[in-house]
């Protein structure tokens, strides 16, 4: 049977939030479904090339806009990780077929993806971390985020901040001068402060693929095995050379080449086992 590739925009409710999302990939029940959750203050456009590569590889890709971006709406006050995770989980659950479900986070989105895996273990067959931070990082990197997203800062300073914190040498950071949402950043940071660490840190029980750019300053060599130490033997660590914190946008083909066999292996039983604890 020939699979038909589709691209559709839909909405789903999560309590008071209405979440818009794009679905890309083969139609039908058999394809594995995965949800890509974007980084701080940003939306799913950063995943454009990665999503296309994953869809071409046989996956059904769900790309939600976070509340406050695109056509997604919902309260930004007094929310926590579980509210944001519920948004992504609602979109993923609405599209999941018989092929299983994987949740994928990029940078800040890794925290939300891990919360989805913790809150909905019955839904999640696999968890993929793209450019997850290693626990702690220098204050200058947090400052780089502030400068990079500030539309009033001089452009040369913003580009320098993007090169410092997000882009490896040889990659053009200029597209990331756009796409930031300051109100969302404030809400996401407040959500982190409001969320009890023990309520999400374990990250469920699904196998984990941890993909790290070798030039990512948020994950230096000494922290490369951070999640292996935290969650082994659930974790498979993979690295991509020539990539920094904007990993899925810098190296989409390489990231897809790592994700696709790992996700397909979950279906045929050859992948890592779930934690049964």
Average pLDDT of 43-49? 97
What integer pLDDT is reported at residue 189 of this predicted model?
95
Residue 147 has pLDDT above 90, yes or no: yes
How does residue 4 score in pLDDT terms, banded at 50, 70 and 90? low
Residue 165 lies in a domain: yes
- Which tokens belong to 20? 């818009």
Residue 220 lies in a domain: yes
The chain-wide mean pLDDT, for the chain, equals 94
Residue 277 lies in a domain: no
Residue 223 lies in a domain: yes
What integer pLDDT is reported at residue 275 of this predicted model?
61
pLDDT digits (tens, 9 = 90+) for 190-200: 999 999 999 99
What integer pLDDT is reported at residue 2 of this predicted model?
43
What integer pLDDT is reported at residue 1 of this predicted model?
39
Residue 274 lies in a domain: no
- CA dist 35 to 103, 222, 251, Å? 5, 30, 19
Residue 62 lies in a domain: yes
Task: Tell me what percent of the residues of the chain surpass a pLDDT of 70.
Answer: 95
Domain range enclosing 158: 5-268
Domain count for the chain: 1
Average pLDDT of 64-75? 97
What integer pLDDT is reported at residue 99 of this predicted model?
85
Average pLDDT of 95-116? 95
Residue 276 lies in a domain: no
CATH number of the domain within which 205 lies: 3.40.50.1820
What integer pLDDT is reported at residue 274 of this predicted model?
63
What integer pLDDT is reported at residue 5 of this predicted model?
66
Residue 149 lies in a domain: yes
Average pLDDT of 39-56? 97
Average pLDDT of 76-98? 96
Indicate the pTM of the whole model.
0.94
């Amino acid at each position: 049977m020939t699979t038909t590739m589709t691209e559709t925009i839909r909405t789903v409710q999560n309590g008071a939030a209405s979440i818009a999302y794009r679905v890309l990939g083969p139609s039908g029940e058999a394809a594995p479904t995965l949800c890509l959750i974007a980084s701080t203050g940003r939306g799913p456009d950063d995943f454009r090339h990665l999503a296309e590569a994953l869809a071409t590889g046989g996956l059904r890709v769900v790309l939600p806009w976070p509340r406050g971006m695109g056509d997604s709406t919902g309260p930004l006050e007094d929310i926590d990780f579980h509210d944001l995770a519920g948004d992504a989980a609602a979109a993923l659950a609405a599209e999941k077929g018989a092929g299983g479900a994987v949740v994928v986070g990029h940078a800040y989105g890794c925290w939300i993806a891990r919360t989805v895996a913790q809150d909905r273990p019955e839904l999640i067959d696999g968890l993929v971390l793209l450019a997850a931070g290693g626990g702690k990082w220098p204050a200058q990197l947090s400052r780089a985020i502030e400068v990079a997203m500030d539309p009033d800062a001089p452009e040369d300073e913003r580009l320098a901040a993007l090169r410092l914190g997000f882009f490896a040498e040889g990659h053009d950071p200029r597209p990331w001068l756009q796409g930031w949402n300051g109100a969302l950043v404030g809400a996401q940071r407040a959500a982190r402060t409001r969320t009890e660490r023990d309520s999400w840190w374990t990250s469920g029980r699904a196998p984990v693929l941890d993909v790290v750019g070798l030039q990512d300053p948020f994950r230096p060599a000494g922290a490369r095995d951070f999640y292996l130490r935290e969650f082994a033997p659930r974790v498979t660590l993979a690295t991509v050379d020539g990539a920094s914190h904007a990993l899925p946008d810098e190296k989409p083909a390489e990231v897809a080449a790592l994700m696709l066999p790992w996700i397909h292996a979950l279906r045929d039983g050859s992948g890592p086992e779930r934690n049964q604890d």
